[in-house]
Structure 1
């Protein structure tokens, strides 16, 4: 377990931060951007939970925990050295992706097929979940950009891809199972 006795350390005052393996990098490093955006997403999920109830809140709680796992995975490069590590790093696993897929399938079964694109909105929870969806897409873009140059656990990328889909379907559920979705009307304001 992590113990934080002192919140500020002054070690980042010159624009660097430590990765999970102890290496220092610029705070604008691609890896820091990737896990920083997953942290930002986690904060938006926390805001969405303010409007969520019961099962949706429980599922969002699991996602928040997964996002901390994902950030821990991203902040620890050099996957090839995992077996040699004194303390094996936390890595995302396939079962986390499979859980999202099962939840997507279950939620989607209650929804009528879409006949138009959806505008973010409807209920407060749906609007918050659409923000989460777009931030998840940005986190995915940053993770795939990082993967072009460095080792990234494929389960991280897959999880983020499924997560944005999860948020989309959950946003429809939050809009009275899609009945209150705000549909795009192409060219309506011409």
Structure 2
């Protein structure tokens, strides 16, 4: 159980932060960047939920993802193996990414195939989901970089982020009247001026 009594501790005033275990790290550390970016994606999903009042199923999906993203943040904030005799650390498990895949399949079923890339636009919900998608992709890139220097990273965390951005893309299209209101890229449209 998490218990937070005090919001400021002054322990981070030197530019470091504590992980679940191990020595304090710089707030610019790649691991801290990774779980901080996961938190940022979670915030954008929270913003997207402001626009789901008429879409309760969408809202439930996004609420579950927000909870999973806290699991993911905890996973990334817990380096190394569990010490002998300690309870297991909270880690993303394959079932969480598999659930995302199921949601992608459900929502993608009603969408027509794309004939061009989609520009972030359309409804407020679609734009918020595109923002969440791009931040999830950035988090994924950071975790890839982190794996290169700390290979003990849970690979399911990386898979989860990859699926998450895919789901945000599909849900953004659904939010745009099942893709009918998507804003499509027209390659070279303004190369001649105008």
Name the TM-score, length of structure 2 as normaliser: 0.95
**What is the match of residue 188 of structure 1?**
189
SS of match in other structure, 1:170: helix
Report the CA distance between 1:87 and its aligned residue: 2.7
Instruction: Please list every run of 5 or more consecutive structure 1 residues that lacks an aligned counterpart in the other structure.
Output: none
- TM-superposition CA deviations, 1:62-96 (whole Å, max 9, x none): 00000000000000000xx2262523210000000
- Distance, in Å, in 2 between the alignment partners of 1:87 and 1:30 is 26
**What is the match of residue 157 of structure 1?**
158
- Distance, in Å, in 1 between the alignment partners of 2:146 and 2:66 is 22
The answer to whether the 8 A contact 2:22-2:79 is kept is: no
- Count of paired positions: 188
Instruction: Please list every run of 5 or more consecutive structure 2 residues that lacks an aligned counterpart in the other structure.
Output: none
Matched ranges for 1:18-33 at <5 A: 18-33=18-33
Query: Which structure 1 residue ranges, 4+ long, deviate > 2 Å from structure 2?
Result: none
Report the CA distance between 1:142 and its aligned residue: 0.2
SS of match in other structure, 2:82: helix
- Distance, in Å, in 2 between the alignment partners of 1:130 and 1:85 is 43
SS of match in other structure, 2:149: coil
Report the CA distance between 1:37 and its aligned residue: 0.3
The change in CA–CA distance for 1:85 and 1:164 in structure 2 (over 3 A counts) is farther
**What is the match of residue 148 of structure 2?**
148
